[in-house]
Homo-oligomer: A and B are copies of this chain.
């Protein structure tokens, strides 16, 4: 039932109606006024509350299910981060109010910048990017600005490994660059020789994810970055997987020029069913002048926004105000709760959980894509053999997991491993939960052998059965009342 189907003309939620008499719109010429009636629902408050409460129950979420979605870091989102960021004074803060009226708010952001500098090993941080992809955008735009400032305008290519997340090549395009892919070697590391062959005077930079989306730490990390630097390019570090190394190694120490951090992953701000995120960027000294604004500065009068006036070479603004400020407060609270020792523990236990789960799944009969490698905070399993034997695909296994009360791992990403599952347990899950997941996977393996057809039609116990994606794309029904043609 859609909310619109609950709606009746003249129903509505009168407690929300402004009660006082008000002046009309007669000062606005009729030609400027709205003619049609928008199809907004008119429902009682109870109907709305019941509708969305029940809808919410049709979701899996970290708060209800183990959610080992690789590359997404679905760890516990502390509730205190939410309630403290939502103190009335913070919620009511207008972004253009005088900084003197928001020193508390600004101080948290400033301190978060400092914390991120420290854990990434970079020289400066801007918190304004609103998600990882926007952090990438900022980073690549800074690379462009750097070359441009040096008059080096021939650099038109960004190099991206084939295993990269889709946002990497898409970002390069958004920033007006051509994308050149480099392959991954058989052991999961980027092929250094191929990279060496790819670089040249046209190379603006390399975007590298480390640990990579294959769930391994790029052992030649320093060399990869050196190859690019020697060719005159800069190196971008996609920090989406920072959870794997937090407090243990620092991208700055690896020699990278710029990094983004997904605060909604490593710093545990909520995923919210698809955001808001935060993709803070950190830079090495040579990119400091180009940081996107606003940045929070501090002087004898306290905290204030730094703008073009302070950073005239900045790549500019990335949002109307201050990125996803309220998310930054949450990240700050989280960082402060972890503190110095807590950072490294994140990497330690995320890595422990992933390696344990990989070992146990291997025992249960699954094939790690890189059995000779350590897992980082995540790892890839390939179901190629299973598919060959039984016809059961990674998608079937994923859907069947839902029936067993587990969210599915990431499927079919990274694209280069056939029939793959990318599994990231995170540090906040207990061993008991991991063991239960292994048992469920083992059951599915048996089911695949005994009754492969049954798996093809999973899930069975969810609010809907398997959905017809083809129909969704072929006959798009994208809004209520506009049924597909």
Contacts and interface: CB of A to CB of B under 8 A. Distances in A.
A57 B429 CA distance: 21
A63 interface: yes
A144 to B, nearest CB: 42
Nearest to A426: B46
A57 B15 CA distance: 28
B46 A428 contact: yes
A62 B54 CA distance: 11
B6 A429 contact: no
Nearest to A65: B50
B80 A15 contact: yes
A90 B47 CA distance: 29
Contacts of A44: 76, 428, 430
A201 interface: no
A6 B46 contact: no
Interface string A407-440: 0000000000000000000001110100000000
Interface string A40-57: 000011110110011001
A79 interface: yes
A337 interface: yes
Interface string A326-354: 00000000000100000000000000000
A75 B337 CA distance: 41
Nearest to A87: B88
A95 interface: no
A78 interface: yes
A64 interface: yes
Contacts of A80: 15
B76 A62 contact: no
A337 B13 CA distance: 12
A430 B47 contact: yes
Nearest to A337: B15
Nearest to A16: B80
Among A50, A62, A65, find the residue whose CB has the most chain B CB atoms closer than 10 A: A50
Contacts of A62: 46, 50
Given A6-B432, A44-B428, A57-B64, A15 B78 contact: yes
A8 B430 CA distance: 10
A342 to B, nearest CB: 9
Contacts of A49: 63, 76, 79
B78 A45 contact: yes
Contacts of A428: 44, 46
Nearest to A338: B15
A76 B46 contact: yes
Nearest to A49: B63
Contacts of A6: 430, 432
A337 B45 CA distance: 13
A403 B15 CA distance: 33
A50 B63 contact: yes
A180 to B, nearest CB: 42
A45 B15 CA distance: 37
A15 to B, nearest CB: 5
A440 to B, nearest CB: 15
Contacts of A8: 430
9 contacts: A11-B430, A45-B76, A46-B428, A46-B429, A49-B63, A49-B79, A50-B63, A53-B64, A54-B64
Given A44-B430, A50-B63, 9 more contacts: A6-B430, A8-B430, A15-B78, A45-B76, A49-B79, A50-B62, A53-B63, A54-B64, A88-B88
- In the A-B complex, the 7 residue pairs with the smallest Cβ-Cβ separation, listed nearest first, are A46-B76, A53-B63, A46-B428, A15-B337, A53-B64, A49-B63, A54-B64
